[in-house]
Chains A and B, each alone.
Chain A
Protein backbone atom coordinates (compact mmCIF):
# COMPACT_ATOMS: atom_id res chain seq x y z
CA UNK A 1 0.00 0.00 0.00
CA UNK A 2 1.18 3.46 -0.84
CA UNK A 3 2.03 5.76 1.96
CA UNK A 4 0.06 8.70 0.60
CA UNK A 5 -3.69 8.37 1.33
CA UNK A 6 -5.97 8.38 -1.73
CA UNK A 7 -8.65 10.32 0.17
CA UNK A 8 -7.64 13.08 2.58
CA UNK A 9 -10.47 14.68 4.50
CA UNK A 10 -9.21 17.60 6.54
CA UNK A 11 -11.01 19.79 9.11
CA UNK A 12 -14.31 19.66 7.21
CA UNK A 13 -17.34 21.64 8.33
CA UNK A 14 -20.75 21.58 6.72
CA UNK A 15 -23.73 23.57 7.89
CA UNK A 16 -27.40 23.24 7.07
CA UNK A 17 -28.51 26.62 8.33
CA UNK A 18 -27.42 26.68 11.97
CA UNK A 19 -27.07 22.94 12.19
CA UNK A 20 -23.54 21.58 11.83
CA UNK A 21 -23.93 18.42 9.73
CA UNK A 22 -20.17 17.93 9.76
CA UNK A 23 -17.94 19.50 12.28
CA UNK A 24 -14.18 19.28 12.30
CA UNK A 25 -14.09 15.98 10.44
CA UNK A 26 -10.72 14.63 9.38
CA UNK A 27 -10.15 11.20 7.89
CA UNK A 28 -7.47 9.66 5.68
CA UNK A 29 -8.19 6.63 3.58
CA UNK A 30 -5.43 4.65 1.94
CA UNK A 31 -5.47 3.01 -1.45
CA UNK A 32 -7.22 -0.35 -1.21
CA UNK A 33 -8.58 0.34 2.23
CA UNK A 34 -12.18 -0.54 3.09
CA UNK A 35 -13.72 1.89 5.51
CA UNK A 36 -17.19 1.42 6.98
CA UNK A 37 -18.91 4.45 8.47
CA UNK A 38 -21.61 3.80 11.04
CA UNK A 39 -23.67 5.98 13.30
CA UNK A 40 -27.25 6.89 14.17
CA UNK A 41 -29.36 8.66 11.57
CA UNK A 42 -28.56 12.34 11.35
CA UNK A 43 -25.01 11.73 12.49
CA UNK A 44 -23.61 13.13 9.24
CA UNK A 45 -22.28 9.88 7.80
CA UNK A 46 -24.14 10.18 4.50
CA UNK A 47 -23.29 13.86 4.28
CA UNK A 48 -19.61 13.01 4.71
CA UNK A 49 -19.77 10.34 2.02
CA UNK A 50 -21.63 12.64 -0.38
CA UNK A 51 -19.17 15.45 0.14
CA UNK A 52 -16.36 13.18 -1.04
CA UNK A 53 -17.74 13.44 -4.59
CA UNK A 54 -19.19 16.91 -4.00
CA UNK A 55 -22.84 15.94 -4.12
CA UNK A 56 -22.74 18.09 -0.98
CA UNK A 57 -20.78 21.31 -0.85
CA UNK A 58 -18.70 21.82 2.28
CA UNK A 59 -18.31 25.12 4.12
CA UNK A 60 -14.81 24.70 5.50
CA UNK A 61 -11.83 22.39 5.21
CA UNK A 62 -10.72 20.34 2.26
CA UNK A 63 -11.21 16.95 0.69
CA UNK A 64 -8.39 15.73 -1.55
CA UNK A 65 -9.06 12.72 -3.76
CA UNK A 66 -6.10 11.26 -5.61
CA UNK A 67 -4.22 14.52 -5.28
CA UNK A 68 -7.06 16.80 -6.43
CA UNK A 69 -9.07 19.10 -4.18
CA UNK A 70 -12.67 18.05 -4.80
CA UNK A 71 -14.13 21.34 -3.60
CA UNK A 72 -11.77 23.58 -5.51
CA UNK A 73 -13.80 25.15 -8.33
CA UNK A 74 -10.65 25.21 -10.46
CA UNK A 75 -10.71 21.43 -10.69
CA UNK A 76 -13.13 19.76 -13.07
CA UNK A 77 -15.46 17.94 -10.75
CA UNK A 78 -16.85 15.84 -13.62
CA UNK A 79 -13.43 14.30 -14.24
CA UNK A 80 -12.87 13.71 -10.52
CA UNK A 81 -16.26 12.02 -10.23
CA UNK A 82 -15.30 9.52 -12.91
CA UNK A 83 -12.79 8.14 -10.40
CA UNK A 84 -15.45 7.87 -7.70
CA UNK A 85 -18.12 5.25 -8.22
CA UNK A 86 -21.24 5.96 -6.20
CA UNK A 87 -24.00 3.59 -5.14
CA UNK A 88 -27.20 5.00 -3.64
CA UNK A 89 -29.73 3.68 -1.21
CA UNK A 90 -32.45 4.09 -3.82
CA UNK A 91 -30.39 2.61 -6.71
CA UNK A 92 -31.28 5.48 -9.08
CA UNK A 93 -30.94 3.48 -12.22
CA UNK A 94 -31.98 5.34 -15.36
CA UNK A 95 -35.46 3.91 -15.96
CA UNK A 96 -35.61 4.94 -19.61
CA UNK A 97 -32.51 2.89 -20.47
CA UNK A 98 -32.06 -0.86 -20.52
CA UNK A 99 -29.74 -2.47 -17.99
CA UNK A 100 -27.00 -2.66 -20.59
CA UNK A 101 -27.49 0.96 -21.64
CA UNK A 102 -27.30 2.01 -18.01
CA UNK A 103 -23.80 0.56 -17.99
CA UNK A 104 -22.56 1.70 -21.40
CA UNK A 105 -23.93 5.23 -21.41
CA UNK A 106 -21.26 6.94 -19.36
CA UNK A 107 -18.16 5.13 -20.77
CA UNK A 108 -19.30 5.81 -24.34
CA UNK A 109 -20.23 9.42 -23.69
CA UNK A 110 -17.50 10.42 -21.30
CA UNK A 111 -14.55 8.23 -22.17
CA UNK A 112 -15.23 8.10 -25.89
CA UNK A 113 -15.23 4.32 -25.71
CA UNK A 114 -16.41 2.36 -28.75
CA UNK A 115 -19.94 1.05 -28.28
CA UNK A 116 -18.87 -2.54 -28.82
CA UNK A 117 -16.06 -2.29 -26.31
CA UNK A 118 -18.32 -0.69 -23.73
CA UNK A 119 -20.87 -3.43 -24.33
CA UNK A 120 -18.30 -6.17 -23.81
CA UNK A 121 -17.14 -4.58 -20.58
CA UNK A 122 -20.74 -4.12 -19.47
CA UNK A 123 -21.58 -7.75 -20.13
CA UNK A 124 -18.51 -8.83 -18.12
CA UNK A 125 -19.61 -6.62 -15.24
CA UNK A 126 -23.14 -7.98 -15.37
CA UNK A 127 -21.69 -11.49 -15.20
CA UNK A 128 -19.67 -10.41 -12.23
CA UNK A 129 -22.76 -9.17 -10.37
CA UNK A 130 -24.66 -12.24 -11.53
CA UNK A 131 -27.36 -10.82 -13.80
CA UNK A 132 -26.00 -11.32 -17.27
CA UNK A 133 -29.41 -12.50 -18.48
CA UNK A 134 -31.12 -9.23 -17.61
CA UNK A 135 -28.95 -7.12 -19.92
CA UNK A 136 -31.75 -6.06 -22.23
CA UNK A 137 -34.61 -5.44 -19.85
CA UNK A 138 -35.64 -2.15 -18.32
CA UNK A 139 -34.80 -1.58 -14.64
CA UNK A 140 -38.46 -1.55 -13.60
CA UNK A 141 -38.57 -5.29 -14.38
CA UNK A 142 -35.89 -6.07 -11.80
CA UNK A 143 -36.17 -6.79 -8.09
CA UNK A 144 -34.56 -4.35 -5.67
CA UNK A 145 -31.55 -6.59 -5.13
CA UNK A 146 -31.04 -6.95 -8.87
CA UNK A 147 -31.37 -3.23 -9.39
CA UNK A 148 -28.77 -2.52 -6.74
CA UNK A 149 -26.38 -4.99 -8.32
CA UNK A 150 -26.86 -3.25 -11.67
CA UNK A 151 -26.21 0.06 -9.93
CA UNK A 152 -22.92 -1.28 -8.62
CA UNK A 153 -22.02 -2.54 -12.09
CA UNK A 154 -22.92 0.86 -13.54
CA UNK A 155 -20.54 2.57 -11.14
CA UNK A 156 -17.82 0.04 -11.95
CA UNK A 157 -18.27 0.55 -15.69
CA UNK A 158 -16.37 3.83 -15.41
CA UNK A 159 -13.48 1.86 -13.89
CA UNK A 160 -13.28 4.08 -10.78
CA UNK A 161 -10.43 4.01 -8.27
CA UNK A 162 -12.77 4.34 -5.34
CA UNK A 163 -16.30 3.12 -4.64
CA UNK A 164 -18.67 5.01 -2.36
CA UNK A 165 -21.70 3.18 -0.96
CA UNK A 166 -24.50 5.16 0.68
CA UNK A 167 -26.57 2.66 2.70
CA UNK A 168 -26.73 0.28 -0.27
CA UNK A 169 -28.94 -2.29 1.46
CA UNK A 170 -31.27 -0.08 3.50
CA UNK A 171 -34.01 0.01 0.90
CA UNK A 172 -33.92 -3.73 0.25
CA UNK A 173 -36.17 -6.50 1.45
CA UNK A 174 -34.20 -8.68 3.91
CA UNK A 175 -33.95 -11.65 1.55
CA UNK A 176 -32.17 -9.51 -1.02
CA UNK A 177 -29.56 -7.96 1.23
CA UNK A 178 -27.26 -10.98 0.99
CA UNK A 179 -26.89 -10.92 -2.79
CA UNK A 180 -25.84 -7.28 -2.74
CA UNK A 181 -23.41 -7.76 0.14
CA UNK A 182 -21.87 -10.71 -1.69
CA UNK A 183 -21.14 -8.51 -4.68
CA UNK A 184 -19.56 -5.94 -2.38
CA UNK A 185 -17.46 -8.57 -0.64
CA UNK A 186 -16.13 -9.78 -3.98
CA UNK A 187 -15.27 -6.25 -4.88
CA UNK A 188 -13.42 -5.85 -1.59
CA UNK A 189 -11.43 -9.01 -2.22
CA UNK A 190 -10.30 -7.59 -5.55
CA UNK A 191 -8.66 -4.74 -3.69
CA UNK A 192 -11.08 -1.88 -4.48
CA UNK A 193 -10.87 1.13 -2.21
CA UNK A 194 -14.30 1.30 -0.59
CA UNK A 195 -16.09 3.73 1.68
CA UNK A 196 -19.36 2.26 2.90
CA UNK A 197 -22.08 3.84 4.98
CA UNK A 198 -24.13 0.96 6.34
CA UNK A 199 -25.88 -0.62 9.30
CA UNK A 200 -24.71 -4.09 8.32
CA UNK A 201 -22.40 -4.91 11.21
CA UNK A 202 -21.63 -8.40 9.91
CA UNK A 203 -20.33 -6.88 6.70
CA UNK A 204 -18.35 -4.29 8.64
CA UNK A 205 -16.73 -6.91 10.82
CA UNK A 206 -15.94 -9.28 7.97
CA UNK A 207 -14.83 -6.92 5.24
CA UNK A 208 -13.64 -3.61 6.63
CA UNK A 209 -10.14 -2.58 7.52
CA UNK A 210 -11.49 0.18 9.68
CA UNK A 211 -14.80 1.20 11.19
CA UNK A 212 -15.61 4.86 11.78
CA UNK A 213 -18.35 5.83 14.22
CA UNK A 214 -19.97 9.24 13.79
CA UNK A 215 -22.37 11.19 15.90
CA UNK A 216 -23.62 14.78 15.66
CA UNK A 217 -21.37 15.46 12.70
CA UNK A 218 -18.19 14.33 14.45
CA UNK A 219 -16.03 11.25 14.20
CA UNK A 220 -16.12 9.77 17.66
CA UNK A 221 -14.27 6.52 17.13
CA UNK A 222 -12.17 5.01 14.37
CA UNK A 223 -10.50 1.60 14.66
CA UNK A 224 -10.00 -1.79 12.95
CA UNK A 225 -13.03 -4.06 13.54
CA UNK A 226 -11.44 -6.31 16.21
CA UNK A 227 -10.46 -3.42 18.35
CA UNK A 228 -13.62 -1.47 17.49
CA UNK A 229 -16.04 -4.07 18.81
CA UNK A 230 -13.99 -5.30 21.76
CA UNK A 231 -12.76 -2.01 23.04
CA UNK A 232 -15.81 0.14 22.51
CA UNK A 233 -15.00 2.47 25.35
CA UNK A 234 -17.00 5.54 24.31
CA UNK A 235 -20.36 5.47 26.12
CA UNK A 236 -22.31 6.71 23.07
CA UNK A 237 -20.69 4.08 20.86
CA UNK A 238 -21.50 1.40 23.39
CA UNK A 239 -25.07 2.52 23.51
CA UNK A 240 -25.29 2.49 19.71
CA UNK A 241 -23.77 -0.95 19.39
CA UNK A 242 -26.07 -2.32 22.08
CA UNK A 243 -29.01 -1.07 20.08
CA UNK A 244 -28.09 -2.57 16.74
CA UNK A 245 -26.24 -5.76 17.61
Chain B
Protein backbone atom coordinates (compact mmCIF):
# COMPACT_ATOMS: atom_id res chain seq x y z
CA UNK B 1 0.00 0.00 0.00
CA UNK B 2 2.70 2.39 1.11
CA UNK B 3 4.77 1.64 -1.97
CA UNK B 4 1.83 2.45 -4.20
CA UNK B 5 1.32 5.78 -2.51
CA UNK B 6 4.98 6.66 -2.87
CA UNK B 7 5.03 5.60 -6.46
CA UNK B 8 1.90 7.60 -7.20
CA UNK B 9 3.23 10.71 -5.52
CA UNK B 10 6.55 10.54 -7.22
CA UNK B 11 5.33 9.74 -10.73
CA UNK B 12 3.55 13.07 -10.68
CA UNK B 13 6.94 14.72 -10.64
CA UNK B 14 8.68 12.16 -12.78
CA UNK B 15 10.13 13.25 -16.06
CA UNK B 16 9.72 10.75 -18.81
CA UNK B 17 12.64 10.82 -21.19
CA UNK B 18 12.04 11.53 -24.81
CA UNK B 19 13.22 8.44 -26.58
CA UNK B 20 14.59 8.92 -30.03
CA UNK B 21 16.77 6.25 -31.54
CA UNK B 22 19.61 5.87 -29.08
CA UNK B 23 18.94 4.79 -25.56
CA UNK B 24 18.93 7.74 -23.20
CA UNK B 25 20.19 7.43 -19.66
CA UNK B 26 18.90 10.05 -17.26
CA UNK B 27 21.45 10.96 -14.70
CA UNK B 28 20.87 12.99 -11.54
CA UNK B 29 23.58 15.16 -10.15
CA UNK B 30 23.73 17.62 -7.27
CA UNK B 31 25.50 20.39 -9.11
CA UNK B 32 26.85 22.21 -6.07
CA UNK B 33 30.11 20.31 -5.97
CA UNK B 34 32.74 22.07 -8.05
CA UNK B 35 34.76 21.04 -9.92
CA UNK B 36 33.15 17.61 -10.07
CA UNK B 37 29.68 18.79 -11.04
CA UNK B 38 28.36 22.31 -10.87
CA UNK B 39 26.44 24.97 -12.74
CA UNK B 40 28.62 27.53 -14.48
CA UNK B 41 27.87 31.18 -15.14
CA UNK B 42 26.04 30.29 -18.37
CA UNK B 43 23.73 28.04 -16.37
CA UNK B 44 25.29 24.98 -17.98
CA UNK B 45 25.87 21.87 -15.94
CA UNK B 46 29.58 21.24 -16.21
CA UNK B 47 32.41 19.54 -14.36
CA UNK B 48 34.67 16.53 -14.39
CA UNK B 49 31.96 13.94 -13.98
CA UNK B 50 29.74 15.65 -16.52
CA UNK B 51 32.45 15.45 -19.15
CA UNK B 52 33.17 11.89 -18.12
CA UNK B 53 29.56 10.80 -18.44
CA UNK B 54 29.28 12.38 -21.86
CA UNK B 55 32.48 10.71 -22.99
CA UNK B 56 31.27 7.35 -21.72
CA UNK B 57 28.01 7.77 -23.59
CA UNK B 58 29.79 8.66 -26.81
CA UNK B 59 32.14 5.70 -26.46
CA UNK B 60 29.44 3.15 -25.69
CA UNK B 61 26.74 4.45 -28.00
CA UNK B 62 24.02 5.92 -25.82
CA UNK B 63 22.97 9.37 -24.73
CA UNK B 64 22.96 10.97 -21.30
CA UNK B 65 20.75 13.64 -19.91
CA UNK B 66 22.01 15.23 -16.73
CA UNK B 67 19.56 16.76 -14.32
CA UNK B 68 20.38 18.97 -11.35
CA UNK B 69 18.84 17.42 -8.23
CA UNK B 70 19.30 18.54 -4.63
CA UNK B 71 21.49 16.13 -2.70
CA UNK B 72 19.00 15.79 0.11
CA UNK B 73 16.50 13.92 -2.03
CA UNK B 74 18.75 12.45 -4.66
CA UNK B 75 18.64 8.83 -3.44
CA UNK B 76 14.92 8.94 -2.83
CA UNK B 77 14.48 10.06 -6.44
CA UNK B 78 16.53 7.16 -7.71
CA UNK B 79 14.51 4.71 -5.65
CA UNK B 80 11.34 6.21 -7.05
CA UNK B 81 12.55 5.79 -10.61
CA UNK B 82 12.74 9.47 -11.43
CA UNK B 83 16.07 8.87 -13.19
CA UNK B 84 18.24 5.93 -14.11
CA UNK B 85 21.47 6.79 -12.34
CA UNK B 86 23.22 9.18 -10.00
CA UNK B 87 26.59 10.55 -10.89
CA UNK B 88 27.22 13.03 -8.15
CA UNK B 89 30.50 12.18 -6.44
CA UNK B 90 28.78 9.38 -4.60
CA UNK B 91 31.23 7.43 -2.48
CA UNK B 92 30.88 3.70 -2.78
CA UNK B 93 30.29 2.26 0.69
CA UNK B 94 28.72 -0.81 2.22
CA UNK B 95 25.65 0.94 3.53
CA UNK B 96 24.79 2.38 0.16
CA UNK B 97 25.54 -0.88 -1.59
CA UNK B 98 22.69 -2.45 0.31
CA UNK B 99 20.13 -0.26 -1.40
CA UNK B 100 21.75 0.50 -4.74
CA UNK B 101 24.29 -0.83 -7.20
CA UNK B 102 27.47 0.98 -8.21
CA UNK B 103 29.48 1.16 -11.40
CA UNK B 104 33.19 0.57 -11.47
CA UNK B 105 34.93 3.32 -9.46
CA UNK B 106 35.64 6.35 -11.63
CA UNK B 107 37.60 8.48 -9.20
CA UNK B 108 39.47 8.22 -5.96
CA UNK B 109 38.88 10.88 -3.34
CA UNK B 110 40.03 11.69 0.14
CA UNK B 111 38.21 13.72 2.74
CA UNK B 112 39.89 17.08 3.05
CA UNK B 113 39.54 19.36 6.02
CA UNK B 114 39.14 23.03 5.17
CA UNK B 115 39.77 25.42 8.01
CA UNK B 116 40.91 28.95 8.82
CA UNK B 117 44.40 29.88 7.66
CA UNK B 118 45.65 30.42 11.22
CA UNK B 119 44.46 27.05 12.53
CA UNK B 120 47.04 24.60 13.84
CA UNK B 121 44.77 21.57 13.82
CA UNK B 122 46.41 18.39 12.59
CA UNK B 123 43.52 15.98 13.01
CA UNK B 124 39.76 16.14 13.48
CA UNK B 125 40.21 15.38 17.18
CA UNK B 126 41.91 18.76 17.55
CA UNK B 127 38.54 20.43 16.98
CA UNK B 128 37.15 19.24 20.29
CA UNK B 129 34.31 21.43 21.53
CA UNK B 130 33.91 23.18 18.17
CA UNK B 131 31.40 23.07 15.35
CA UNK B 132 32.33 21.10 12.26
CA UNK B 133 30.33 21.24 9.07
CA UNK B 134 29.69 19.01 6.07
CA UNK B 135 26.99 18.34 3.55
CA UNK B 136 24.13 16.21 4.83
CA UNK B 137 24.48 12.51 4.06
CA UNK B 138 28.00 12.72 2.67
CA UNK B 139 31.14 10.85 3.62
CA UNK B 140 32.44 14.07 5.06
CA UNK B 141 29.47 14.30 7.42
CA UNK B 142 29.83 10.70 8.49
CA UNK B 143 33.48 11.45 9.21
CA UNK B 144 32.76 14.40 11.51
CA UNK B 145 29.92 12.57 13.20
CA UNK B 146 32.36 9.86 14.16
CA UNK B 147 34.63 12.33 15.97
CA UNK B 148 34.08 12.53 19.68
CA UNK B 149 33.55 15.86 21.38
CA UNK B 150 32.73 17.96 18.32
CA UNK B 151 29.34 19.25 17.22
CA UNK B 152 28.62 18.01 13.70
CA UNK B 153 26.49 20.33 11.56
CA UNK B 154 24.87 19.12 8.41
CA UNK B 155 24.21 21.50 5.51
CA UNK B 156 22.06 21.19 2.42
CA UNK B 157 24.89 22.36 0.23
CA UNK B 158 28.61 22.38 0.74
CA UNK B 159 28.69 26.05 -0.27
CA UNK B 160 26.55 27.03 2.71
CA UNK B 161 28.91 25.19 5.02
CA UNK B 162 31.85 27.02 3.44
CA UNK B 163 30.10 30.35 3.97
CA UNK B 164 29.55 29.56 7.64
CA UNK B 165 33.18 28.53 7.92
CA UNK B 166 34.19 31.80 6.30
CA UNK B 167 31.92 33.69 8.72
CA UNK B 168 33.37 31.93 11.72
CA UNK B 169 30.41 29.83 12.74
CA UNK B 170 32.31 26.65 11.95
CA UNK B 171 35.83 25.60 12.84
CA UNK B 172 36.21 23.37 9.81
CA UNK B 173 34.41 21.84 6.84
CA UNK B 174 35.04 18.31 5.62
CA UNK B 175 34.44 17.28 2.02
CA UNK B 176 35.98 15.49 -0.96
CA UNK B 177 39.41 16.82 -1.77
CA UNK B 178 38.66 18.21 -5.25
CA UNK B 179 35.79 20.24 -3.84
CA UNK B 180 37.82 21.40 -0.87
CA UNK B 181 40.50 22.54 -3.28
CA UNK B 182 38.01 24.37 -5.42
CA UNK B 183 36.48 26.32 -2.56
CA UNK B 184 39.53 26.95 -0.43
CA UNK B 185 41.99 27.66 -3.19
CA UNK B 186 40.06 28.80 -6.24
CA UNK B 187 37.44 31.15 -4.77
CA UNK B 188 39.20 34.43 -4.26
CA UNK B 189 37.42 35.55 -1.07
CA UNK B 190 37.67 32.19 0.62
CA UNK B 191 41.27 31.69 -0.41
CA UNK B 192 42.24 34.73 1.65
CA UNK B 193 40.99 33.21 4.89
CA UNK B 194 40.80 29.46 4.33
CA UNK B 195 43.20 26.61 3.68
CA UNK B 196 43.13 22.86 3.32
CA UNK B 197 44.68 21.81 6.60
CA UNK B 198 44.96 18.07 6.19
CA UNK B 199 43.32 14.97 4.84
CA UNK B 200 41.28 12.66 7.03
CA UNK B 201 43.24 9.46 7.46
CA UNK B 202 41.36 6.40 6.38
CA UNK B 203 42.48 2.81 6.25
CA UNK B 204 40.41 2.18 3.16
CA UNK B 205 40.61 4.01 -0.13
CA UNK B 206 37.47 5.95 -1.01
CA UNK B 207 36.09 5.69 -4.52
CA UNK B 208 33.31 7.46 -6.35
CA UNK B 209 30.90 5.45 -8.44
CA UNK B 210 27.77 5.90 -10.50
CA UNK B 211 24.75 4.62 -8.58
CA UNK B 212 21.78 2.82 -10.14
CA UNK B 213 18.76 1.14 -8.59
CA UNK B 214 19.44 -2.28 -7.22
CA UNK B 215 19.35 -4.86 -9.99
CA UNK B 216 19.34 -2.42 -12.90
CA UNK B 217 22.06 -4.28 -14.76
CA UNK B 218 21.06 -2.85 -18.14
CA UNK B 219 22.07 0.70 -17.26
CA UNK B 220 24.97 -0.43 -15.13
CA UNK B 221 26.48 -2.44 -17.99
CA UNK B 222 26.16 0.49 -20.37
CA UNK B 223 27.94 2.83 -17.96
CA UNK B 224 30.68 0.31 -17.14
CA UNK B 225 31.21 -0.32 -20.83
CA UNK B 226 31.63 3.39 -21.39
CA UNK B 227 33.98 3.78 -18.43
CA UNK B 228 36.35 1.06 -19.56
CA UNK B 229 36.28 2.45 -23.10
CA UNK B 230 37.28 5.99 -22.07
CA UNK B 231 39.98 4.67 -19.75
CA UNK B 232 41.36 2.54 -22.55
CA UNK B 233 41.53 5.24 -25.22
CA UNK B 234 42.99 7.99 -22.99
CA UNK B 235 39.90 10.18 -22.93
CA UNK B 236 39.66 9.73 -19.17
CA UNK B 237 43.13 11.18 -18.65
CA UNK B 238 42.36 14.10 -20.92
CA UNK B 239 39.24 14.98 -18.96
CA UNK B 240 41.11 14.61 -15.69
CA UNK B 241 43.86 16.87 -16.95
CA UNK B 242 41.29 19.41 -18.06
CA UNK B 243 39.76 19.72 -14.61
CA UNK B 244 42.62 18.97 -12.27
CA UNK B 245 45.76 19.81 -14.22
CA UNK B 246 48.37 17.40 -15.38
CA UNK B 247 49.55 16.10 -12.01
The answer to whether A and B touch directly, with their CB atoms under 8 angstroms apart, is: no
Q: Which residues from chain B sit less than 8 Å from chain A, CB to CB?
A: none
Q: Which residues from chain A sit less than 8 Å from chain B, CB to CB?
A: none
